[in-house]
Copies of this chain bind each other. A is one copy, B any other.
Amino acid sequence: MSAKYEARTEAAKSLLCVGLDSDFAKLPEQFKKAEHPQFEFNKWIIDETHEYVAAYKPNAAFYEARGDAGLRELKMTMEYLQMEHSDIFTIFDAKRADIGNTNNGYVTAIFDWLGFDAVTLHPYLGREALAPFLDRKDKISIILCRTSNEGAGEFQDLKLLPYMEVISPEPLWKIVAEKVANEWNRNGNCMLVVGATYPEEMKIIREVAGDMTFLVPGIGAQGGNVSAVLKNGRNSKGTGLIISASRSVIFSDTPREAATTLRDKIQSYR
């Protein structure tokens, strides 16, 4: 499944992921009045940007905010993508994680009903809890490792003792990266979320995670730096990055131009 992302990256010459964070309140007026506002806006964004894009990533919160109507429009968006651009990698930024079999409900909803290729997941409950996701060899689990927000360090920076035998403490984000790389990724279907706003951490995570792909939010509105991401985050094949921008592309006056410019900027640093 990671092969799908890699193939698309190569075909589109792009590491760009567009976040479909289609907040109803921020939609242009003509879409607000449409019958299916979030779907019709997404369709327009997809039509404008697909040539330059390796992945799309809707965030669940913006659809759930509109209840079952939002969920239906997300489903319509996925159907449109599957019909028109089935080679583009799709990520549900839902940040889920429950215990054991309860996760089966999310697996069914996200991978089978909506048809996403990948989902973002919290690590706090451990590998045993996430087995229903990790056991899906045909789908990708993207584990939150170093998140892009300002206060990410409150727990993620705590220095913990990873194993009995290990004497030197390591920050939690590094332990998460090591565990996912060495123990969770047996099916080769894991990726990590590593925020563009923390390039130094990204460098260390690349050292411990091998060639694993990183989903990198925080470019654009959050201020992450493209050249630092490429420099510190690329894997040994010069790829291994899904660089995501949301507001700065979809709420630009000219989304096509914003996507092209950002795609080209990323390519220039590869």
A-side residues, CB < 8 A to B, are 21, 23, 59-65, 67-69, 71-72, 75, 93, 95-100, 102-106, 108-109, 113-114, 122-129, 144, 147-156, 158-163, 169, 172, 175-176, 179
Contacts of A108 in B (CB 8 A): 65
Inter-chain contact B113/A67, CB cutoff 8 Å:
yes
A156 contacts which chain B residues (CB < 8 A)?
Answer: 124, 126
- Complex: chain B residue closest to A103, CB-CB: B61
Bound CA span A23–B160, Å: 38
Residues of B within 8 A of A59 (CB): 98, 102, 105
Q: Can you tell how many copies of this chain the complex includes?
A: 2
Q: Which of A69, A155, A156, A176 has the most CB of B within 10 A?
A: A155
Inter-chain contact A172/B155, CB cutoff 8 Å: yes
Cα A59 to Cα B179 with chains together (Å): 28
Known A97-B122, A105-B64; contact A172-B152, beta-carbon cutoff 8 A: no
The distance in angstroms between the C-alpha atoms of A234 and B264, with both chains bound, is: 60
Alpha-carbon gap, A67 to B65, bound state (A): 15
CB distance from A203 to the nearest CB of B (A): 21
CB <8 Å contact, A154 and B169: no
Q: Which residue of B lies closest to A147 (CB)?
A: B125
Distance in Å from the Cβ of A191 to the closest Cβ of chain B?
16
A61 to B109, CA, bound (A): 8
| Chain B residues, Cβ within 8 Å of A114 | 67
What CA separation (Å) do A126 and B153 show in the bound complex?
Answer: 7
Q: B residues within 8 A CB of A105?
A: 23, 59-65
A172 contacts which chain B residues (CB < 8 A)?
A: 155, 158, 160, 172
Residues of B within 8 A of A62 (CB): 102, 105
Closest to A65 in B: B105
**Contacts A68-B68, A123-B124: A158 and B161 contacting too (C-beta < 8 A)?**
yes
What are 17 sample pairs from A and B whose C-beta atoms fall under 8 A apart? A59-B105, A61-B103, A64-B105, A67-B75, A67-B109, A68-B72, A68-B75, A123-B155, A125-B144, A126-B149, A126-B156, A128-B151, A128-B154, A154-B179, A155-B172, A160-B161, A161-B161
